[in-house]
């Protein structure tokens, strides 16, 4: 059952008092030292229970339900459609995965970390809801995968661009590969916060993300892969930074 902190309200997009209070006391940007809400895993954002529970939050398993169908259909289309050769279709599918890793980096670095300003509540709340919430409450299990209010419009935009650029046949494997990349990202993101990987790549991904959260917020923008951070020069990795970040995370979890 979903966690509940308030009684039902009739407002559609009205913010809760705890969201308003949190934003008013927030510094207005994503920067160290973070976070300050030790011992508190989450807050409720919207008063309306339907909006909060079904559009603004998501169970970590649900992206597989939303995007599993397009992934399987696109892979089948890539390999068995008369419009494509199996090799060409598979290549487009893989290209879609690679495209996602770059899109993930671009979105995280230049969109999620965009500073809307902090002069007004409206400016602060935009930054907070876009990504500041996650930095303040990094272990909220209901907001570690993108909710429908973010993932569905994004999928429509990306699919539409692919269709316009690649045409009615090539866009399908491209889009399905990108969906698989996105699904990997969502689940890897959840795992970095709630899992303890023992394999070397999992450790690299988790530790680099913890450094991003608790030590060097302007580095390590890739979550499912550090490749673009390495290529572009935003990969931050040192034993001291890792040690400090993991200690900070441990303190946060203790409350």
Instruction: Give the pLDDT band (50/70/90) at residue 254.
Output: low
Q: Let me know: does 223 contact 189? Beta carbons within 8 Å.
A: yes
Q: Average pLDDT of 220-245?
A: 94
The verdict on residue 40 lying in a domain is yes
- Given a cut of 90, whether residue 9 has pLDDT beyond it is no
The verdict on residue 255 lying in a domain is no
- Total number of domains in the chain: 1
Which pLDDT score, from 0 to 100, does residue 74 have?
Answer: 97
Which pLDDT score, from 0 to 100, does residue 4 have?
Answer: 46
Q: Please give the structure tokens belonging to residue 43.
A: 């807050």
Q: What percent of the chain has pLDDT over 70?
A: 91
pLDDT tens-digit map of 192-216:
999 999 999 999 999 999 999 998 9
The verdict on residue 198 lying in a domain is no
Which pLDDT score, from 0 to 100, does residue 7 have?
Answer: 47
The verdict on residue 201 lying in a domain is no
The verdict on residue 166 lying in a domain is yes
The verdict on residue 183 lying in a domain is yes
pLDDT tens-digit map of 130-185:
999 999 999 999 999 998 888 999 999 999 999 999 999 999 999 999 999 999 99
- Given a cut of 50, whether residue 109 has pLDDT beyond it is yes
pLDDT tens-digit map of 51-95:
999 899 999 999 999 999 999 999 999 999 999 999 999 999 999
Instruction: Give the pLDDT band (50/70/90) at residue 1.
Output: very low
Which pLDDT score, from 0 to 100, does residue 140 have?
Answer: 93
Q: Please give the structure tokens belonging to residue 124.
A: 């602060």
- Given a cut of 90, whether residue 3 has pLDDT beyond it is no
The verdict on residue 227 lying in a domain is no
Can you give the three-state secondary structure of the chain, one letter per residue?
Answer: CCCCCCCCCCCCCCECHHHHHHHHHCCCCCCCCCCCCCCCCCCCCECCHHHHHHCCCCCCCHHHHHHHHHHHHHHHHHHHCCCCCHHHHHHHHHHHHHHHHHHHHHHHHHHHCCCCCCCCHHHHHHHHHHHHHHHHCCCCHHHCCCCHHHHHHHHHHHHHHHHHHHHHHHHHHHHHHHHHHHHHHHHHHHHHHHCCCCCHHHHHHHHHHHHHHHCCCCCCCCCCCCHHHHHHCCCCCCHHHHHHHHHHHHHHHHC
State which residues form the domain around 99: 17-193
Which pLDDT score, from 0 to 100, does residue 232 have?
Answer: 96
Q: What percent of the chain has pLDDT over 90?
A: 75
The verdict on residue 165 lying in a domain is yes
Instruction: Give the pLDDT band (50/70/90) at residue 37.
Output: low
């Amino acid at each position: 059952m979903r966690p509940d902190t308030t009684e039902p309200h009739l407002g559609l997009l009205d913010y809760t008092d705890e969201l308003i209070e949190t934003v008013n006391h927030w510094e207005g940007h994503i920067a160290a030292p973070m976070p300050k809400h030790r011992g508190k895993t989450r807050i409720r954002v919207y008063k309306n229970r339907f909006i909060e529970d079904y559009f603004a939050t998501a169970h970590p398993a649900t992206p597989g339900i939303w995007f599993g169908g397009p992934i399987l259909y696109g892979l089948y289309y890539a390999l068995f459609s008369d419009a494509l050769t199996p090799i060409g279709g598979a290549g487009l599918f893989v290209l879609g995965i690679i495209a996602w890793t770059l899109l993930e980096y671009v979105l995280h670095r230049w969109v999620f970390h965009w500073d809307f300003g902090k002069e007004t509540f409206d400016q602060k709340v935009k930054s907070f809801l876009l990504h500041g919430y996650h930095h303040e409450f990094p272990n909220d299990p209901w907001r570690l995968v993108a909710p429908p209010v973010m993932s569905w419009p994004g999928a429509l935009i990306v699919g539409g661009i692919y269709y316009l650029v690649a045409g009615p046949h090539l866009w399908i494997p491209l889009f399905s590969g990108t969906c698989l990349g996105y699904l990997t990202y969502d689940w890897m993101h959840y795992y970095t916060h709630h899992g303890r990987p023992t394999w070397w790549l999992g450790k690299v991904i988790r530790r680099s993300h913890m450094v991003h959260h608790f030590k060097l917020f302007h580095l390590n923008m890739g979550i499912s892969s550090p490749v673009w951070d390495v290529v572009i020069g935003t990969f931050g990795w040192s034993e001291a930074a890792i040690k400090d970040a993991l200690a900070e995370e441990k303190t946060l979890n203790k409350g």
